[in-house]
Amino acid sequence: MSAVPGLWITFEGGDGSGKTTQARLLHEWIESTGRTVVRTREPGGTEVGVLIRDIVLHHRGDIAPRAEALLYAADRAHHVETLVRPALARGEVVIQDRYLDSSVAYQGAGRVLDATEVRELSLWGAGGALPDVTVLLDLDPVAARARLDADDKPFDRLEAEKDDFHARVRAGFLALAAAEPDRFLVFDASLPLADLATAIRERVQPLL
């Protein structure tokens, strides 16, 4: 998205890796520098997305893997067109919790669909849009599950999947990062919260 004046940063990683917290901390820091920041998420960053999020994460019963991938892609298409592109065109910084890499990891690796097809579906829906930088928080699924257990909140459909599913998702994310080293910044999500926030900030600062 370098043709527009804004900066688009996405956060990726398995459930329990700390994406939401680190996205918030980065948002607060960038905003303190005087930049306008839009923090959003997928699914659920728009009114349409909220409805789709309820289906894909909280629907009782099974959803066919291809249908699940299509729902995420539909949310993504609307989200990019109505929120992300306008914010970037205004010169704002967009910090986003999950994007198409999550679909490739969760529906591609996790659900064992064709990762290339999942990616191409999302790229088509989003008009080819890719973020300027993607922060990947890597964490062992066992440690991630312990964090989720400590939160004492009901698991959503994906959080409730078995350990082998989450192991495939982690491997999927790491494979994506290895394939696109110019876009991905990979961090050890087991680091103390403040140390991790500082490390992310130091890598992002030159982009501002």
Q: Strand pairing partners for 7?
A: 93
3-state secondary structure of 37: strand
All residues at 6 or more sequence positions from 67 whose CB lies less than 8 Å from its CB, including other chains: none
Which residue segments constitute the domains of the chain, with CATH numbers given? Answer: 7-207 (3.40.50.300)
Q: In what order do the strands lie in the sheet with 184-188?
A: 37-41, 93-97, 7-13, 133-138, 184-188
Q: At what angle do helices 65-79 and 115-125 cross, to 10 degrees?
A: 30
81 C-beta neighbours (distance < 10 Å), count: 15
The structure tokens listed for 194 are 């403040």
All residues at 6 or more sequence positions from 22 whose CB lies less than 8 Å from its CB, including other chains: 11, 135, 137, 196, 197, 200
Which pLDDT tens digits describe the chain residue by residue (208 residues)?
545 689 999 999 998 899 999 999 999 999 999 999 999 999 999 999 999 999 988 877 788 999 999 999 999 999 999 999 999 999 999 999 999 999 999 999 989 899 999 999 999 999 999 999 999 999 999 998 888 887 777 776 677 777 888 999 999 999 999 999 999 999 999 999 999 999 999 999 999 9
Give the pTM: 0.92
| Continuous segment of H or E residues that includes residue 179 | helix 163-179
75 C-beta neighbours (distance < 10 Å), count: 26
Contact predicate 183/99, CB 8 Å: no
